[in-house]
Structure 1
Amino acid sequence: MIAKSRGIVLSYMKYGDTSIIARVFTEEYGYGSYIVNSVRSQKSKKSIGHFQPFSLLDLVLYLKETRELQRISEFKSHHPLHYIHNDMTKSSVTLFLTEVFSKLLQSEQSANPDLYQFAEESIKAFDLLKKNIANFHLQFLLKVGPHLGYAIDDIENLFSSTGKLAPSNEEYHTMDLLMKEPFGTDILMSRTTRNSMLEIILNYYQHHAHISRPKSLEVLRSILN
């Protein structure tokens, strides 16, 4: 079956001499892995740069029920990103978020239009963000929770489920701002507080979604610090 969908690239790995396997969250079919043939060939007319993390693509998919891996037969940019892949801080945040988001999407094997719309609009906003970039990953992970069915928008529940009985007034206020304010809002935090907020969020997802600790966490911290 030939099908069309928009998709968000999360990662890829080399496959064979000239192909890749891309992990993509699609609007119509949810999260999945797809073979992209010959994209690494010197004769390919399409650049492998289309498959950088968080790239937004228009896809033509070749789907077959008997295959474990489906195939992307055609692709083009849906919305060009101008800054995410050229800025060291943004690219580090992107690498971290695509790793965590991939883990959270493991159960999203069918369409989730609200989640897809949130993710796509968030990526577009992040690309254009000029300030408070260091808070984006915190806000994204907090705001995406309800779209995945996790009650991470309840601050008391967020803290208690990670072993902390109650947040301090400062922690509560900071987490409330991160949840409610738009991306790019001035939310002043020390490096210690930012790391603490991230640990609470990650512990929540590790407890409720059973995800493993992200390998890119230390790289992110070294860049942001």
Structure 2
Amino acid sequence: MVVKSKGIVLGYLKYGDNSIIVRIFTEEYGYGSYIVNSIRSQKSKKSIGYFQPFSILDLVMYVKETRDLQRISEFKNNYPLHHLHTDSSKSAVTLFLTEVFSKLLQSEQSPNPQLFSFTEESIKKFDYLEEGVANFHLQFLLKVGPYLGYAVDEIEHLFSSTEQTTPSSEEFHRMESLMKEDYGTKIEMNRNSRNAILDAILNYYQHHAHIPKPKSLEILRSILN
């Protein structure tokens, strides 16, 4: 069956001599892996650059229910990203978030239009963000929880369920601001505070969603710090 959908790229692996397997969160089918044939071939008319993390694409796919790995036959940019892959800080945040988000999406094998819309709009805002770039991943991971069934209704819930040490009143206030304020809102914090808050968020998801420690965490911290 030939279907069309918008999709958000979360990463890819080389497959065979000239193909790739792409992890994509699609609007119509949720999270899945898709093969793109011959994209790494010298004769390919399209660049593998289409499949950079958080790219938003229009896709034409061959979908067969009896097959685990579906195939993408056509693709094009739905929304051009201007800064996400050229700014080192944004690239590091993007790499980190796509790794964590992929793990959180493992159970999203069916459509989740609210989650897709939230993620798409967040990416678009991040692309043009000038203030608060170093806080974007914190805000995204706090804000995305309700769409995945891991809502943090109160900051206390981040700590009460994981037996973590309760944060200082200053960090508590910062976390509330990160969760409630729009992306780009100026929220002052130093390296230690940012690292402590990220650790708390990751511990929460590791406890509830059983995700592993992100491999890109140290890369993120070395660039943002």
Counterpart of 2:186 in 1: which secondary structure?
Answer: coil
Q: CA deviation at 1:36?
A: 0.3
Deviating 4+ runs (over 6 angstroms): none
The C-alpha deviation readout for 1:136-178, integer Å capped at 9, x for no partner, is 0000000000010112232111121231353321122111000
CA distance in 2, matches of 1:211, 1:164: 17
Trace 1:1-225 onto structure 2 (pairs within 5 A). Answer: 1-164=1-164, 166-225=166-225
CA distance in 1, matches of 2:185, 2:99: 24
CA distance in 2, matches of 1:216, 1:164: 23
CA distance in 2, matches of 1:66, 1:105: 21
Counterpart of 1:28 in 2: which secondary structure?
Answer: coil
Provide TM-score, normalisation by structure 2.
0.98
The C-alpha deviation readout for 1:7-54, integer Å capped at 9, x for no partner, is 000000111111100000000000000000111111111111000000
CA distance in 1, matches of 2:75, 2:219: 31
Among the aligned pairs, what percent are the same residue?
73
Counterpart of 2:162 in 1: which secondary structure?
Answer: coil
Q: CA deviation at 1:66?
A: 1.7
CA distance in 2, matches of 1:41, 1:111: 32
Provide TM-score, normalisation by structure 1.
0.98
State the aligned residue count: 225
Give the AA of the match of 1:189.
Answer: M
Contact 1:156 1:167 (C-alpha < 8 Å) held by counterparts: no
CA distance in 2, matches of 1:212, 1:12: 19
The C-alpha deviation readout for 1:34-91, integer Å capped at 9, x for no partner, is 0001111111111110000000000001001121100001100000000000011100
CA distance in 2, matches of 1:196, 1:115: 26
